Chains A and B, each alone.
Chain A
Amino acid sequence: MSTDPRREALRAAWGVGIAVSAYGVSFGALAVASGVSVWQACVLSLVMFSGGSQFALIGVIASGGAGAGPAAIAGATLLGLRNGLYAVRVSPIVGPGFVKRLAAGHLTIDESTAVSTAQADPAAQRTGFWATGLIIYVGWNLMTLVGALLGDLLGDVRAYGLDAAAAAAFLGLVWPRLRALEPVAVAVGAALVAVVTIPLLSPGVPVLTAALVGVIAGLVGAWRRRNAAGAPQEVTEP
C-alpha cells in the first residue's frame, strides 16, 4: 500500500479544519457587533458549536434584539436539525461507548460528517470524523474568542465588510447542496418568500416562514413517489 488511508483522512481534516476555524474570527466579531457579550459569543461556540445556527441566532438578535428571542431560538434549532441526521449517519462509524458517543455528538457538524463519510476505509472514516471535529472545535472556539475581542476594538464591523461576510458564509453553506434542480427550486422559492416577508414580519420570522418551502417540497416529493409507485402502468404507456 502506497498511502495510508488514515493519513489521507488526517490531511483532509487539517485542510477543512484550518479554513473553518479561521472563519470563527468573523463569527466572534459579528456576535459582539450584534449586541451579545464576549462570553456569550464564546458560550455559543462552546455549547451550540454549529456555525450556521450560531450565525442565524446572532443575525436575529442583531435586527430584533432580545425581544426576537423565540424566533432566534426557533431559527437556530431548525437549522440544527440536519446535525441530527448526520448523527444517525456517523453513529455506526463512531461505534459503542457512552462517553465516546457523547463526545462524538458534540462534534457532529457539516465538516466532520463530510470528511468522515468521504473516506472509504472504516479506520479512515473514524480518523476523519474525530480529527476534523476536534481540530475545528479547538480552532473555532479560539478564533471566536479572538474575533469577539477584536470586534470590541474594531467598533463598526460594517466598515470591514463583516456583515457581507456572514451573507457569503450562508451562500457558501448552501452552494454545495444545489447540485440538482429540486434543491435549486427550493432555494429560489425560499429566497422569494424571505424577501417578500422581511417588511411584513418581525425579525427572524421570515426565515422560519421560508423553511415551510422546504417542508412543502418534502411533502410533494413523498406524494410524487407514492403516485409513481401506485401507477406504474402510466410510465410504460407509449
Chain B
Amino acid sequence: MTVWTIILTASIAVLAIKLVGYLVPPRVLEKRGAAETAEHVTVALLAALVVVQTVGDGQSVSVDARLPAVVVAAGLLAARAPFILVIVAAAATAAVLRALGWAA
C-alpha cells in the first residue's frame, strides 16, 4: 500500500462519514444507545492516542520529554487555559528539557 493510497482512502472515508450524516433523519439520534456508544468510542480512541503519542516509540514504550510535557498540558487544561496555549506550552516544555539534556 503506497502512502498516497493510504491518504486518499482515509480522506475519502472520513469525508464520506460526514456526508452520510446529512442523509440520516435526526430522529435516529433519539435512540440514545447509538450516540452514547459513538461518544464512548471517541473518548477511548482519543485517550489511547494520548498514551501512544506520549510514551509510544514504534513498538516499545519509552518515557522521555513528552511525558512531562503532557503533564504540563494537563495542568493547563485543568486551569482552563486556551487550547493554543496548552499546545505551545507542551511543545516548549519538551523542547527545553531536551535542550538542557534533562530528557531524551
Residue of A nearest to B2 (CB): A66
Chain A interface SS verdict (over half): helix
Q: Is the CB of B45 within 8 A of A79?
A: yes
Most buried by A among B10, B28, B48, B61: B48
Chain B: interface size category: 35 or more
Summed over the interface, the residue pairs from A and B with CB atoms below 8 Å come to a total of 320
Most buried by A among B15, B50, B96: B50
How many whole Å from A80's CB to the nearest CB in chain B?
A: 4
Is residue A11 within 8 Å, beta carbon to beta carbon, of the partner chain?
Answer: no
Q: Is the CB of A214 within 8 A of B42?
A: yes
For A89, what are the chain B residues with a Cβ–Cβ distance below 8 Å? 26, 29
Q: Tell which of A19, A85, A165, A170 touches B91, judged by Cβ atoms closer than 8 Å.
A: A165
Most buried by A among B42, B43, B46: B46
* A74-104 to B contact mask, C-beta < 8 Å, 1/0: 0111111111111111011010000001101
Query: Bound state CA distance, A186 and B36, in angstroms?
Result: 12
Residue of B nearest to A53 (CB): B14
Q: Is the CB of B61 within 8 A of A183?
A: no
A211 with B49, Cβ < 8 A, contacts A66-B2, A203-B59 known: no
How many whole Å from A79's CB to the nearest CB in chain B?
A: 5
Q: Is the CB of A160 within 8 A of B56?
A: no
Q: Tell which of B5, B20, B32, B40 touches A214, judged by Cβ atoms closer than 8 Å.
A: B40
Q: Tell which of B52, B74, B93 touches A198, judged by Cβ atoms closer than 8 Å.
A: B52
Residue of A nearest to B6 (CB): A69
Is residue A129 within 8 Å, beta carbon to beta carbon, of the partner chain?
Answer: no
How many whole Å from B1's CB to the nearest CB in chain A?
A: 4
For B92, what are the chain A residues with a Cβ–Cβ distance below 8 Å? 161
* A40-75 to B contact mask, C-beta < 8 Å, 1/0: 100110011110110111010101101101101101
Query: Bound state CA distance, A190 and B42, in angstroms?
Result: 11
Q: Tell which of B7, B12, B17, B28 touches A40, judged by Cβ atoms closer than 8 Å.
A: B7
A23 with B83, Cβ < 8 A, contacts A43-B11, A167-B50, A198-B52 known: yes
| Beyond A53-B14, A191-B51, 18 additional pairs, beta carbon < 8 A | A26-B87, A35-B3, A53-B10, A55-B49, A63-B57, A69-B5, A87-B19, A91-B22, A161-B90, A161-B93, A161-B95, A161-B96, A164-B93, A165-B88, A177-B46, A207-B45, A214-B37, A217-B37
Chain A interface (Cβ < 8 Å from any Cβ of B)? 19-20, 22-23, 26, 35-37, 40, 43-44, 47-50, 52-53, 55-57, 59, 61, 63-64, 66-67, 69-70, 72-73, 75-89, 91-92, 94, 101-102, 104-106, 108, 158-175, 177-178, 182-183, 186-191, 193-195, 198-199, 201-203, 206-207, 210-215, 217-219, 221-222, 225
17 contacts between A and B (CB under 8 A): A19-B83, A40-B4, A73-B13, A84-B24, A88-B24, A105-B18, A159-B98, A161-B96, A164-B66, A164-B91, A165-B90, A170-B49, A174-B47, A183-B39, A214-B43, A218-B37, A221-B37
